[in-house]
Every structure is written in structure tokens, then in C-alpha cells.
Amino acid sequence: MIKLLADLAGYDGVFNLFRYITFRAIAALMTSLAIALLIGPRFITLLRARQGKGQPIREDGPEWHLLTKRGTPTMGGLLILIALCISSLLWMDLANGFVWTALLVTLGFGAIGFMDDFDKVTKQSHKGVSGKVRLGLEFLIAGLACSYIASRTGFTLYLPFLKDFGLYLGVFYIIFAAFIITGFGNAVNLTDGLDGLATMPVVIAASAFAIIAYLVGNIRFSDYLGIHHVPGSGELAVFCAALIGACLGFLWYNAPPAMVFMGDTGSLALGGALGTIAVVTNHELVLLIIGGLFVLETLSVIIQVVSFKTTGKRVFRMAPLHHHYEKKGWQEATVVIRFWIVAILLALVGLATLKLR
């Protein structure tokens, strides 16, 4: 919106600043952070009053979770979405189709998560919405988004470490890209099991993709690095910045001991947002590196289920992976901080692929 006003004013004087993605990215981050911090206390009080017992806690989880986390309200992801949307609408170029695609996927996945959280809270059950229904709706939203994105960016899967080289997949690219968005939404959802565990790795991944989006959207930088140029994708750097600010504001209240959980409302939305940005920038495979922590958490669940069904034995003491280390005796803060460190290292490796081409 502010970008539009600057366009109308002709970028004279101070309005010239709004021409720059970097300035608007910083402004978007600060705006979403301020919104989350300001409305957080009243928002959490409202959630607590409406939910009563809060999010149901797994009976088969670490024993101390039942004592320390019971009664904590969920659906805190709404706080992230409110801050993200207001900041994005203020600072992004609303004439850019990628902006609306990222917002709609984020809100669509958030709506699915909200339905799941609402069902769990009202019934005080872990079941929520049927897994098949959830996945079907997620894949539908992702498929529609990827169809639009592919019509703008092409149907080629670009490979990391290789200079501007990719595999033309045709219509199968849409299926693959939709799988990436859906899969990553659920990967972040699986990781969100400890206070602050999912939030900071999302901030780290979004920071990396803010850089990638800016470089991919700039023809000079993309040509120098040998990466595929996507006109208009640089605007998603502003979206990433707004996402970072909203997550940091939420983390203020989600830090151990958490005052609120993001729930599926937040985790599905954040994973969907990262997946969409990766697809727009043609860095789907790099997302698997930068978001490697989420991938590891997901693999731990898959390995555990396959092993138990085929051999009757469990590979991990409990899945996802963070619960395995809790069962081994690690304190919650230890697990969270060490996983943050892993997320930082993986993000650096992912960014290194830009130069190694």
C-alpha cells in the first residue's frame, strides 16, 4: 500500500526510499515485529479465556510435559498471520502476483491448521481433522498456486551446484512443486513440539530465502551467480522480512516457558510460506538443505513408523526427533538451542550453493 502511494507521488524526495526492496524489507520486519509485540498480551489473554484447558497434551509424551504445558493456549499462529498480513499489505508491491500467491498459500494453510486446532481444543482430543482431508486441501491449494507460479517461471526444476542448469518436467513440475509446499508445511508442523523449537528455524530459513529471493529477482546478481533469474521474485524478500518480524514477535511469548503455542494454525502456514517462496525462486531443492532440520524431523517419524510396522521395533525412543533426545534426558532448552545451531549451519550450507555454482 505504501509502495502504491509512493508510485503515485512519483518517488520525489523521501519517497525515493520506497523504491528499494532493502528499505521496505527492513520496514516490513520492524512493522510486523511491533504489531506482534503490541497485540500479543491481549491476544493471548483472549485465547486463554476462550480455550479454557488449552491445547491437549500427548499422554505418551515426556511425562513433565503434562505438568508444565497443560493449560497453555494454542492457535498463537493467528498472531503471526495478523502481523504478517498487515505488514505485507503495507510494504509490498501489491501489483506483484507472487505477493498474493505467497499470502494466499500462507492464509490457506493457516485456515486448515485453524480448523484442526479448533477441533482439537473443542473436543480435547489429539485427532483433529482427518489426515486425508487435511492433505487433500493442502495439496489443492498448493497445486493451484504452483500452476500460477509455473505459468510465470516455467516448468523446469533447477539443480543446486550446477550453473543455470535444470530438468524440464512439464506438468509433473506442478505436482512436484505442490508436494514440496505441502510436505514442508507438515514438516514444520511436526517440528513444532517444544517451546520455540520451530519458530527460530523458520526465522533462519526465511532469512536465507530473503537473500535468495533478492538475488534471484535481480538480473545482475543472478547472472553473476549463474542462477535462474525470476523477474518480480525479489519482492518476496519483503515478504520474508515481514515473516521474520512476525515470528520474532511471537517468539517473545513462545520462549520457554511458553505463554502460547502456535498450533497447526501457525506451523502449517509457516511451512507453506517457505515452500511457496522456494518454488517461486526455483530453489526447491535448496529448501531441503536450508530447512534440513524440518526434513530430519519428518524423516525420524517416517523411519519410526516403517520400522515399527515392519519389524515391531522402534529406532528412536520417541518420534519426532526432538522427543527422542528428551527421552534421553536432554533438557528442553538444550534440545531447542542445539537444534537452532543445526538450523543455522544448514542455512549457511544452503546459501553456499549459490556461490559454488
Q: How far apart are CA 29 and CA 36, in angstroms?
A: 11
Closest Cα to residue 321, out of 351, 293, 356?
Answer: 293
| The three-state (H, E, C) secondary structure of 309-344, written as one string | HHHCCCCCCCCCHHHHHHHCCCCHHHHHHHHHHHHH
The answer to whether 303 and 111 have CB atoms below 8 angstroms apart is no
Secondary element (H or E) of residue 224: helix 219-225
Q: How far apart are CA 235 and CA 210, in angstroms?
A: 9
Largest CA distance in the chain: 70
Residue 9, pLDDT score = 53
Residue 66, pLDDT score = 45
Give 256's DSSP letter.
S
Distances (CA, A) of 51 to 56, 121, 172, 296: 11, 7, 43, 32
Single-letter code of the amino acid located at 325: Y
Residue 57, pLDDT score = 61
The tens place of each residue's pLDDT in the chain, 357 residues long, gives 666 555 655 565 556 777 889 999 999 999 999 999 999 999 999 998 887 766 666 555 555 554 456 778 889 999 999 999 999 999 999 999 999 999 999 999 999 999 998 888 887 766 767 888 999 999 999 999 999 999 999 999 998 877 767 899 999 999 999 999 999 999 999 999 888 999 999 999 999 999 999 999 999 999 888 898 999 999 999 999 999 999 999 999 998 888 999 999 999 999 999 999 999 999 999 999 999 999 999 999 999 999 999 998 999 989 899 989 988 989 989 999 999 999 999 999 999 988 876
What's the Rg (C-alpha) of the chain?
20
Q: How is residue 294 written as a grid cell?
A: 524440518
* pTM, two decimal places: 0.92
DSSP string covering 34-87, please? HHHHHHHHHHHHHHHHHHTT-SPPPTTS-HHHHHHTTT----THHHHHHHHHHH
